[in-house]
Amino acid sequence: MLSVKLDNVNIVILSDGNNPRLLNPDFLDRNNIVPKEWKVKDVLVTPPFARVLYDNDVQILLEENKLHVLSRQPDLISWEHELPRVVTSFLEALPQVSYRSVGLNFVFLSDQPKGVEAEQTLISKFLKQGTWLDFRQGMTGTVLEFQYRATQPQMNVKIGVLEKRDSIGTSLEGFIFTVNFHHDFKIDETKQRAEYVNSVGIRRTEFMKFMETLPF
């Protein structure tokens, strides 16, 4: 199986009636939403959204219709437990908001293969042979999306090759897997929503089982 590393985890709650101006470090601390040992790195509060960033690269972002709790360095924390705790504590602190669907999102990266070899691997392993591969001097790359929507949570996986941009230009890295598990909930399904949020670790395991089926 292809070796991949978890790059980031993001839990998203769709909702109605958020007030972004409520989000600040004092609110999060006063309501025991984040661990006491987390240190604030940056705060931004505007009318359309507010963000609190911690030095462990966990970011809490509140928009009028969404709550995001994102870890950009999941290796620094016990994300399977700490991110759901932040989310569920936040929802409990503001029960008057109409919370709805939940997205459990992951990004995985692979080191190898890289560059053109990675692009050609996707083409050769997943695309059917045909004249379309030779169109306009030949296909140079592809992005694949797998959709599993027969049951909830729905699973969507997008596979491509990561493009890295810097002052010199653009270079191709290894594979990037963008993974989304989406579950719809009614407003009053508070318990079911919380249970699903707490399943984020299980969803990572489910994705790894999916990886075993791919022809890399």
Residue pLDDT, tens place only, 125-151: 999 999 999 999 999 999 999 999 999
pLDDT in the model for residue 206: 98
Alpha-carbon span 109 to 91, nearest angstrom = 31
Instruction: Report the alpha-carbon angle 180-181-186, nearest 5.
Output: 130
* Average confidence (pLDDT) over 63-87: 98
pLDDT in the model for residue 79: 98
pLDDT in the model for residue 161: 97
pLDDT in the model for residue 205: 98
pLDDT in the model for residue 209: 98
User: Where does residue 76 fall: left (phi above 0), alpha (psi -120 to 50 degrees), or beta otherwise?
Assistant: alpha
pTM of the model: 0.95
- Say whether pLDDT at 19 is over 90: yes
pLDDT in the model for residue 8: 98
Burial readout 139-153 (b: 16 or more C-beta within 10 A, e: otherwise): eeeeeeeeeeeeeeb
Q: Which amino acid is at 40?
A: V
Q: Which amino acid is at 23?
A: L
* Average confidence (pLDDT) over 63-75: 97
Residue pLDDT, tens place only, 38-64: 999 999 999 899 999 999 999 999 999
Residue pLDDT, tens place only, 152-198: 999 999 999 999 887 777 889 999 999 999 999 999 999 999 999 99
Residue pLDDT, tens place only, 84-121: 999 999 999 999 999 999 999 999 999 999 999 999 99
Domain ranges of the chain: 5-211
Contact 2, 175 (CB under 8 A): yes
